[in-house]
Chain A
Amino acid sequence: MGSLMLSLSKHGWLFSGGLPAARCRVAERGISRFAVEGLMRQYILRRLFQSVFVLLGVSVVVFLLLRLTPGDPARVMLPEGAPEQEIAEVRRLLGLDRPLVEQYAIFLHGAVRGDLGQSIMQRRPALPMVLDRLPATFQLTLVAFVIALAVAIPVGVISAVWRDSVWDHCVSTLALLGQSMPVFWLGIMLIMIFAVQFRLLPTSGYGLTQIVLPAVSLGAYLMALASRLVRSGMLETFGEDYVRTARSKGISETRAIFHHAFRNTLIPLVTVVGLQFGSLLGGAVVTETVFSWPGVGTLAMTAILQRDYPVVQAVVLTVSACFVLINLAVDILYAYIDPRVRYV
């Protein structure tokens, strides 16, 4: 998750109550704010440059995997029973009879110009097909993310504060269930209860009300994971010297919990949750299928089954690029949360 160089202060920046003091200490060491921002810019540019090679590697892997997997797009394209010479002709028209290296070179030549090929099945440019669907997946992922954290954070905090209480045990049990339940099963259960039985929400489709059930289904695992992280992180920071000192100085319990203990839980939480956002993005396939959510997941599923090579490649590259950017955003967020973090 990038390279970190912590600039440690004598007492820790939290002890003195916040970021402005930390900035002062940075200034005392003679490193100006502008220099810090310049280092950050360099770091971002370096990460973006590295991501080009990451995406190149991904493109090679997905290209080869598709072509090594049994299944011929020309055969899938034509009805069962099409003569071999027709299939061979279609393969030739699609360029699939050329050597693999030549096929990859053609693909790469187009990719650098933003052309990821044309869908074999739909005869439309592949990248716009993915970009048309990407917002729906982002919306679903973002709402799942927000719902998960909106529930997990307060639940985790209360569990930590009321440790070993009935509430704490209930939350732990539910968190274990949330991490164990298959998304598929949970999705069907939510549909049966909230849509069929109580008619509170729609069963499927795309819209503001339609997003609720799939988002809850998709976010359940993260909700469970994050609540456990918050709980364990809070319990660890409760025992730290600075929290004990803060309490002994007479600050309110609420301030001790949220301003001191919870803020230090954010670093591990952001680490895991940031990675999970990328996983949610790529792992929405099952949820999108159950709820007929018209996102990239269902597009990828159909394309894989139909061996629509350009579309699969476009989906994988686009999602990989998003994943890389999300990781970078998370790294930048670290610096925002904890000014001890500097990137060189």
Chain B
Amino acid sequence: MSRRLKRSLIWSTLILVAVLAGMTAAISPAAAAKGSLTMAHGGSLRSIDPQLTYGAYEMRALRHVYEPLLDLDASGEKLIPVLAESWRISPDGLTYTFKLRPGVKFANGEPFDAKAVLATIERGKTDKKLGFNFIYSAIEKASSPDPSTVILKTEKLQAGLLYNLTGALMMPANAAAFVGKNYDQPNGTGPFKVAQYVANDRLVLEARPDYWQPGVPKVQRLTLRVINEESARLAAAQAGEIEIAEGLGAQFQDTIKGDPQLALLVNPIWRSEFVGFNCTRPPLDNAKVRQAIAYAINREALVKNVIQVGAPLASYPMKGVLGYSAKIPANPYDLAKARALLAEAGQAKGFKANLLVAAGNVPKIEEMSEYFAAELKKIGIDVELKMQDSAGAGQTRAAGNYDMYIISTAVITGDPDRYFDDRVVRDTYAKQGCAAKRPDLVKMIQEAGQTMDPAKRQGLYERIQDAMWADPPFVWFNQTAWVYAVSKRVKNFRPSPTTLFTLQDVSVE
């Protein structure tokens, strides 16, 4: 071998070793240890700024580090105290007084008090680029007569405010200095502190020995990983690398059941897929046409054969959420009635329309769109599918270049007002929204959003749903369910329907 060749080989080997050695110095996953739990999901982990993110996975991840004043219980139906020990609402419904929990500290030892709450709210109100700006902008004024009390005043009645506050994670007092900037110094009151964070890859958390709630967390180390590819996520669970794989496709249910190390868990969540309409384009501006479409979809067959998980649903919200109406059947499938309604609307021969699909964002949405088109074909409506990615579809909708669109929506705060306010009243695309022609509906929704009595609110939402069924601005299909593969070594894993559950009570054998 020539000297030159030998020298080349030596240099090449040294470079390769140096490159590979760099990996051991860089990020590396923690070895599976007793008292450690790893959960993987798809989606993203864009930031550890608790006010910047609004995705369900990100919010849930950061709820292990930061906490809200109050939260929903495991069923998602009841509010429970967290950083606020108690609260009361003034008789006029415009003032909320919170008594803060004593003895709570941030991860750096700083005490949690009213200053932190005020700073969190100030940043939330001032920084317009935050994901959940709407929570803070609903608060007209925040003040504090003493370090353990916070008073929030609203300009108008807001029945959903307490529920919305479950999404407001409390930050330290220096948060106010980070308006417009990324709050990348994780320091919360939660049961864990951040040991390692790699954007869109993993968040590694270590248990805090000084956490205010005794007995939790049950694991010393919690790792939340992003594994976007579903097959790879399940494979990681099968290989024992992770204990919980979340959001798997329904087609994997038999595989999970067949694995002796894994348990299948199907968790219905408060998420639904639906079709919206451009009511400026005839004949979709005709209520009978939209009613016909609502009757033409066999939701049971859709759930059984296409989505393969979840439950049929023809109204919103779903059972468990305030406002659910049992009067509207889950599957009002009636082709004859659909044809009759189309005939009454003067569309007996059918018509052509397009359906804008935000592909890739929601499991099986492409298949659902194809099923929807096939069902409408039976009553003479010829549907052309327009597939775009989520961002492109959003732009297309905003420009009004669609007849119908299909999308997913969720009630993550447990209160229906945000959904109704956004989707129907303001209707993101209000120019084309069907509610623009329904001042009666808009008035009912606004009234329900300002009615503090839960029983009265329930009655109002039931009337709203009757009105929406008679003249549908949307056609709902289903209530989604998430599929989990859970290691049999995991104990006490109970995901909530809001998807914003934490894992502090979960242990691993």
The answer to whether A191 touches B235, judged by C-beta atoms less than 8 angstroms apart, is yes
Chain A residues closer than 8 Å to B199, beta-carbon distance: 122, 129
A336 to B138, CA, bound (A): 69
Known contacts A80-B428, A146-B16, A292-B232: A305-B391 contact under CB 8 Å: yes
A1 to B359, CA, bound (A): 40
The residue from B24, B235, B396, B426 contacting A196, defined by CB atoms under 8 A apart: B235
The answer to whether A71 touches B225, judged by C-beta atoms less than 8 angstroms apart, is no
Kindly supply a per-residue 1/0 record for chain B positions 206-234, scoring 1 wherever the CB is within 8 Å of any chain A CB and 0 otherwise. 00000000000000000001111101100
* Nearest-Cβ distance from residue A84 to partner chain B, whole angstroms: 8
Residue of B nearest to A18 (CB): B2
The answer to whether A123 touches B229, judged by C-beta atoms less than 8 angstroms apart, is no
**Number of chain B residues whose Cβ lies closer than 8 Å to a Cβ of chain A:** 62
Chain B residues closer than 8 Å to A291, beta-carbon distance: 232
A82 to B430, CA, bound (A): 11
Question: Is A41 an interface residue, CB under 8 A from the partner?
Answer: no
Which one of A199-207, A222-230, A245-253 is at the B interface?
A: A199-207
* Nearest-Cβ distance from residue B254 to partner chain A, whole angstroms: 16
The residue from B2, B47, B423 contacting A123, defined by CB atoms under 8 A apart: B47
How many residue pairs bridge A and B at CB < 8 Å? 167
Which one of A25-33, A134-142, A156-164, A234-242 is at the B interface?
A: A134-142
Question: Is A78 an interface residue, CB under 8 A from the partner?
Answer: yes
Question: Is A96 an interface residue, CB under 8 A from the partner?
Answer: no
The answer to whether A90 touches B128, judged by C-beta atoms less than 8 angstroms apart, is yes
Residue of B nearest to A308 (CB): B46
The answer to whether B235 touches A135, judged by C-beta atoms less than 8 angstroms apart, is no
Q: Which of A140-157 contact B (CB under 8 A)?
A: 142-143, 146
The answer to whether B23 touches A292, judged by C-beta atoms less than 8 angstroms apart, is no
The answer to whether A79 touches B132, judged by C-beta atoms less than 8 angstroms apart, is yes
Chain B residues closer than 8 Å to A93, beta-carbon distance: 128-129
Question: Is A69 an interface residue, CB under 8 A from the partner?
Answer: yes
Question: Is A76 an interface residue, CB under 8 A from the partner?
Answer: yes
A207 to B247, CA, bound (A): 25
Chain B residues closer than 8 Å to A292, beta-carbon distance: 201, 225-229, 232
Which one of B25-33, B77-85, B264-272, B445-453 is at the A interface?
A: B25-33
The answer to whether B19 touches A139, judged by C-beta atoms less than 8 angstroms apart, is yes
The answer to whether B239 touches A196, judged by C-beta atoms less than 8 angstroms apart, is yes
Question: Is A306 an interface residue, CB under 8 A from the partner?
Answer: yes
The answer to whether B16 touches A71, judged by C-beta atoms less than 8 angstroms apart, is no
Residue of B nearest to A301 (CB): B228
Residue of A nearest to B184 (CB): A124
The residue from A80, A122, A124, A142 contacting B407, defined by CB atoms under 8 A apart: A80
Chain B residues closer than 8 Å to A289, beta-carbon distance: 228-229
A93 to B20, CA, bound (A): 42
The answer to whether A71 touches B389, judged by C-beta atoms less than 8 angstroms apart, is yes
Question: Is B330 an interface residue, CB under 8 A from the partner?
Answer: no
Residue of A nearest to B129 (CB): A90
Question: Is B177 an interface residue, CB under 8 A from the partner?
Answer: no
Q: Which of A257-301 contact B (CB under 8 A)?
A: 289-292, 294, 298-299
Chain A residues closer than 8 Å to B235, beta-carbon distance: 188, 191-192, 195-196, 203-204
A77 to B396, CA, bound (A): 16
* Nearest-Cβ distance from residue B223 to partner chain A, whole angstroms: 10
Question: Is A307 an interface residue, CB under 8 A from the partner?
Answer: yes
Question: Is B260 an interface residue, CB under 8 A from the partner?
Answer: no
Question: Is B409 an interface residue, CB under 8 A from the partner?
Answer: yes
Kindly supply a per-residue 1/0 record for chain B positions 15-46, scoring 1 wherever the CB is within 8 Å of any chain A CB and 0 otherwise. 01001101110111100000000000000101
The residue from B29, B227, B360 contacting A207, defined by CB atoms under 8 A apart: B29
**Number of chain A residues whose Cβ lies closer than 8 Å to a Cβ of chain B:** 60
Known contacts A81-B426, A292-B201: A207-B23 contact under CB 8 Å: yes
Chain A residues closer than 8 Å to B396, beta-carbon distance: 70
The answer to whether B390 touches A305, judged by C-beta atoms less than 8 angstroms apart, is yes
Q: Which of B33-77 contact A (CB under 8 A)?
A: 44, 46-47, 49, 52, 54
The answer to whether B182 touches A124, judged by C-beta atoms less than 8 angstroms apart, is yes
Question: Is A208 an interface residue, CB under 8 A from the partner?
Answer: yes
The residue from A139, A207, A307 contacting B28, defined by CB atoms under 8 A apart: A207
* Nearest-Cβ distance from residue B412 to partner chain A, whole angstroms: 10
The answer to whether B232 touches A122, judged by C-beta atoms less than 8 angstroms apart, is no
Kindly supply a per-residue 1/0 record for chain B positions 395-411, scoring 1 wherever the CB is within 8 Å of any chain A CB and 0 otherwise. 11010000000010100
Chain B residues closer than 8 Å to A188, beta-carbon distance: 229, 231-232, 235
Chain B residues closer than 8 Å to A86, beta-carbon distance: 128, 133
Chain A residues closer than 8 Å to B20, beta-carbon distance: 139, 143, 208, 211
A210 to B235, CA, bound (A): 14
A143 to B20, CA, bound (A): 8
Question: Is B320 an interface residue, CB under 8 A from the partner?
Answer: no
The answer to whether B19 touches A204, judged by C-beta atoms less than 8 angstroms apart, is no
Known contacts A70-B395, A71-B389: A208-B24 contact under CB 8 Å: yes
Question: Is A83 an interface residue, CB under 8 A from the partner?
Answer: yes
Question: Is A332 an interface residue, CB under 8 A from the partner?
Answer: no
* Nearest-Cβ distance from residue A42 to partner chain B, whole angstroms: 24
A86 to B134, CA, bound (A): 10
The answer to whether A206 touches B26, judged by C-beta atoms less than 8 angstroms apart, is yes
Q: Which of A45-103 contact B (CB under 8 A)?
A: 69-73, 75-84, 86, 89-90, 93-94
The answer to whether B200 touches A298, judged by C-beta atoms less than 8 angstroms apart, is yes
The answer to whether B198 touches A294, judged by C-beta atoms less than 8 angstroms apart, is yes
Chain B residues closer than 8 Å to A191, beta-carbon distance: 231-232, 235
A125 to B341, CA, bound (A): 56
The answer to whether B229 touches A206, judged by C-beta atoms less than 8 angstroms apart, is no
Residue of B nearest to A294 (CB): B201
A307 to B389, CA, bound (A): 11
Residue of A nearest to B388 (CB): A70
A155 to B400, CA, bound (A): 59
Question: Is B241 an interface residue, CB under 8 A from the partner?
Answer: yes
Question: Is A165 an interface residue, CB under 8 A from the partner?
Answer: no
Most B CB contacts (10 A, CB to CB) among A69, A70, A210 go to A70
Q: Which of B232-261 contact A (CB under 8 A)?
A: 232, 235-236, 238-241
* Nearest-Cβ distance from residue B411 to partner chain A, whole angstroms: 12
A131 to B426, CA, bound (A): 42
Residue of A nearest to B49 (CB): A123
The answer to whether A72 touches B391, judged by C-beta atoms less than 8 angstroms apart, is yes
Chain B residues closer than 8 Å to A129, beta-carbon distance: 199
A69 to B52, CA, bound (A): 25
The answer to whether A196 touches B131, judged by C-beta atoms less than 8 angstroms apart, is no
The answer to whether A202 touches B239, judged by C-beta atoms less than 8 angstroms apart, is yes
Q: Which of B116-137 contact A (CB under 8 A)?
A: 128-129, 131-134
Question: 18 A-B Cβ contacts within 8 A?
Answer: A75-B394, A80-B422, A80-B428, A81-B423, A83-B426, A84-B430, A124-B184, A135-B19, A142-B16, A143-B20, A188-B235, A191-B232, A195-B239, A204-B227, A207-B24, A207-B28, A294-B27, A306-B44
Given A76-B390, A76-B391, 4 other A-B contacts at CB below 8 A?
Answer: A77-B131, A78-B131, A86-B128, A188-B231
